[in-house]
């Protein structure tokens, strides 16, 4: 039976969701408020307009998580990847596109599709219940009326409007000859053991040099429309450093209640703490280190912290306007709003980060909606795939807040990365059976993760793909 599914938002996620719905034989009504109402960031009325960059990042499916995500989306008949491939410009190992050509291709394809109706105009507030199934994909610049409607339905704390992001480090890149596990005063939080934080100690010389580097480091300014949303609960680490050389020692880097087991008689001048960030235990968040430093400066300065000299970052820090849901609390495993299951959410408003990730969540939201309409719900995506790892992060793969008064929200936007994947059952070895170290180990591990992902996605597709599903061939 053909069903009508409304999609609100004509960005990458909404466009991809509409394509998936239409290609499955259902009617997709795509609502895009531009040009009737513009945004502070968009310049055109084209669908899937790229605002910040023309890069879809690495296209390497063997050694990069986003490259693997590209491959999985192509396998599932993605319009966004089809348009990107058709409008590619030279960018080395990355996939970069001609912005105008890319947006024009997506717009033209959807406008010409017989199952797509494009409606120009703002959806003010929540979509009417009379519409039935609906996918909301309005991105980080969701219109105020719709944002207020979501808040009214889900609670005042359901949306974050200014996103204070601290860097996240891959656990296996932290030097455990330097760092140690301990909670302050050995106090276990809910579900904790009393050894829930990784601690990196600094002596006075290291601390003074670190503070000086923070103050002198190159920063990113706010966009004109963002304002300056500093408040004392999430000051950038460099702003704290500018308030006085001892500020950090009495803030996120205070050394009290902690003892270095390797040198218990020497009190560190300061300590950087990292807290487990995902349920798998593969990612650790730098506590209190939200920042406006440029990405290059973050890597350079944060690698001067003892124990983080070889740190690999799953995500770097930032502070900017970014409207997104507290998705693990509000959405189910198929991206439906628990408070109103006829509404699904997709794209950056769910708490993914990046063009490709946004489109990928739109792809899955469209497929979930199609499967539900057909009365054949999809089996859960394997978390060993890039798509599955991303959906699992959004819908519950993070670690919950500590339960402390005024604790910061622990769920924050994330790019796809190998830290979201379940660890391999066995450490990679070379042909002779020797366990590897360093770059050779890292390369073989990534290859093993991507090989496993391809195998598991193929098995999932074989078990769940409707027989009449035929993705259109790439142009």
Could you report the per-residue pLDDT of 408-463, keeping only the tens digit for each? 456 777 889 998 999 998 877 766 666 666 677 788 889 999 999 999 999 999 98
pLDDT on residue 86: 93
CATH 3.50.50.60-classified regions of the chain: 2-157+324-416+452-461
- Predicted confidence band of residue 96 (pLDDT cuts 50, 70, 90): confident
How far is Cα of residue 405 from the mean position of the Cα atoms in its chain?
Answer: 26
pLDDT on residue 44: 76
pLDDT on residue 357: 96
Q: Is the pLDDT of residue 309 over 70?
A: yes
CA distances from 137 to 10, 43, 294, 310, 345 (A): 8, 19, 29, 37, 6
pLDDT tens, residue by residue, 224-260: 444 444 444 457 899 889 988 998 998 889 999 999 9
Q: What is the mean pLDDT of the chain?
A: 85
> What is the C-alpha to C-alpha distance for residues 167 and 108, in angstroms, rounded to an integer?
39
Q: Is the pLDDT of residue 326 over 70?
A: yes
Give mean pLDDT, residues 146-164: 76
> Known binder of ligand: residue 9?
yes
pLDDT on residue 222: 56
pLDDT on residue 405: 39
> What is the C-alpha to C-alpha distance for residues 474 and 61, in angstroms, rounded to an integer?
18
Sheet of 27-32: strand order equals: 116-120, 27-32, 4-8, 134-136, 340-345, 336-337
pLDDT tens, residue by residue, 361-383: 999 999 999 999 999 888 889 99
* Inter-residue contact 249 to 231 (CB < 8 Å): no
pLDDT on residue 465: 54
pLDDT tens, residue by residue, 171-203: 999 999 999 999 888 876 545 677 888 999 999
pLDDT tens, residue by residue, 116-131: 999 999 888 899 999 9
Q: What angle do CA 305, 287, 242 make, to 5 degrees?
A: 70
Higher pLDDT among residues 140 and 448, named by residue = 448
List beta partners, residue 55: 96
Higher pLDDT among residues 165 and 303, named by residue = 303
Contacts with 337 (C-beta within 8 Å, 6 or more apart), sequence order: 153, 154, 330, 331, 343, 344, 345
Closest CA to 84 of 59, 118, 60, 116: 59
**The token pair that represents 343 in the structure block:** 């509404």
Give mean pLDDT, residues 28-56: 78
pLDDT on residue 377: 84
Q: How many CA atoms lie within 13 A of 467 on its CB side?
A: 0
Q: Is the pLDDT of residue 356 over 50?
A: yes
List beta partners, residue 29: 6, 117
Strands (E) in 90-186, as ranges, are 94-97, 116-120, 134-136, 159-165, 168-170, 180-181
pTM value?
0.75
> Known binder of ligand: residue 13?
yes
- Predicted confidence band of residue 473 (pLDDT cuts 50, 70, 90): very low
pLDDT on residue 155: 81
pLDDT more than 70, % of the chain: 84
CATH 2.40.30-classified regions of the chain: 162-319
pLDDT tens, residue by residue, 216-234: 999 876 554 444 444 444 5
Of 77-81, 97-101, 435-439, which range is least confident? 435-439
Contacts with 376 (C-beta within 8 Å, 6 or more apart), sequence order: 466
Cα Rg for the chain, rounded, in angstroms?
A: 23
Maximum separation of any 2 CA atoms in the chain, in Å: 74
DSSP state of 288: T
Give mean pLDDT, residues 340-346: 96
Return the residue matching tokens 């950090």: 248
pLDDT on residue 307: 97
pLDDT on residue 406: 43
Closest CA to 174 of 245, 82, 98, 274: 274
**The token pair that represents 169 in the structure block:** 């480090």
pLDDT on residue 50: 84
pLDDT on residue 472: 42
pLDDT on residue 34: 77
Where residue 253 falls (left for φ over 0; alpha for ψ -120 to 50; beta otherwise) is alpha
Instruction: Classify the C-alpha dihedral 184-186-190-192 as positive or negative.
Output: positive
> What is the C-alpha to C-alpha distance for residues 439 and 173, in angstroms, rounded to an integer?
11
Higher pLDDT among residues 440 and 302, named by residue = 302
pLDDT tens, residue by residue, 286-301: 988 988 899 999 999 9
The SS3 of residue 134 is: strand
**The token pair that represents 143 in the structure block:** 């219109």
- Domain made up of 162-319: CATH architecture: Beta Barrel (2.40)
- Predicted confidence band of residue 142 (pLDDT cuts 50, 70, 90): confident
- Predicted confidence band of residue 467 (pLDDT cuts 50, 70, 90): very low
Candidates 3.50.50.60, 2.60.40.1180, 3.30.310.220, 3.30.1360.180; CATH matching 2-157+324-416+452-461: 3.50.50.60
């Amino acid at each position: 039976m053909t069903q009508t599914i409304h999609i609100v938002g004509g960005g990458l996620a909404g466009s991809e969701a509409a394509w998936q719905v239409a290609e499955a034989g259902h009617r997709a009504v795509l609502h895009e408020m531009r040009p009737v109402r513009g945004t502070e960031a968009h310049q055109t009325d084209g669908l899937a307009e790229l605002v910040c960059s023309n890069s879809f990042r690495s296209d390497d499916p063997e050694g990069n998580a986003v490259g693997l995500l590209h491959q999985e989306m192509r396998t599932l008949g993605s319009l966004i990847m089809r348009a990107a491939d058709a409008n590619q410009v030279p960018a080395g190992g990355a996939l970069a596109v001609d912005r105008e050509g890319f947006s024009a291709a997506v717009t033209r394809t959807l406008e010409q599709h017989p199952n797509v109706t494009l409606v120009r105009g703002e959806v003010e507030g929540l979509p009417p219940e009379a519409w039935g199934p609906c996918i909301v994909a309005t991105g980080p610049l969701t219109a105020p009326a719709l944002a207020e409607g979501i808040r009214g339905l889900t609670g005042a704390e359901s949306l974050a409007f200014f996103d204070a992001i601290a860097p996240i480090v891959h656990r296996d890149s932290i030097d455990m000859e330097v760092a140690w596990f301990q909670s302050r005063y050995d106090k276990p939080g809910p579900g904790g053991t009393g050894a829930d934080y990784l601690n990196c100690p600094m002596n006075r010389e290291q601390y003074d040099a670190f503070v000086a580097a923070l103050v002198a480091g190159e920063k990113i300014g706010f966009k004109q429309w963002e304002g300056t949303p500093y408040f004392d609960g999430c000051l950038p680490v460099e702003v704290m450093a500018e308030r006085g050389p001892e500020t950090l020692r009495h803030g996120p880097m205070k050394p009290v209640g902690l003892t270095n087991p390797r040198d218990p008689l020497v009190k560190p001048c300061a300590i950087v703490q990292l807290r487990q960030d995902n349920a798998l235990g593969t990612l650790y968040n730098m506590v209190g280190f939200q920042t406006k430093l440029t990405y290059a400066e973050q890597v350079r300065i944060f690698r001067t912290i003892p124990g983080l000299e070889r740190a690999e970052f799953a995500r770097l820090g930032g502070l900017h306007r970014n409207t997104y849901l507290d998705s693990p609390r509000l959405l189910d495993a198929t991206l439906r709003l628990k408070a109103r299951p006829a509404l699904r959410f997709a794209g950056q408003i769910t708490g993914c980060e990046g063009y490709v990730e946004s489109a990928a969540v739109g792809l899955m939201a469209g497929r979930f909606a199609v499967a539900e309409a057909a009365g054949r719900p999809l089996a859960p995506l394997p978390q060993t795939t890039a798509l599955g790892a991303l959906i699992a992060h959004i819908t519950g793969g993070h670690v919950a807040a500590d339960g402390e008064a005024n604790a910061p929200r622990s769920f924050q936007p994330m790019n796809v990365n190998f830290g979201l994947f379940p660890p391999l059952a066995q450490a990679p070895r070379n042909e002779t059976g020797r366990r590897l170290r360093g770059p050779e180990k890292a390369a073989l591990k990534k290859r093993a993760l991507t090989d496993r992902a391809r195998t598991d996605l193929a098995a999932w597709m074989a078990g769940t793909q409707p027989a009449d599903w035929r993705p259109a061939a790439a142009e």
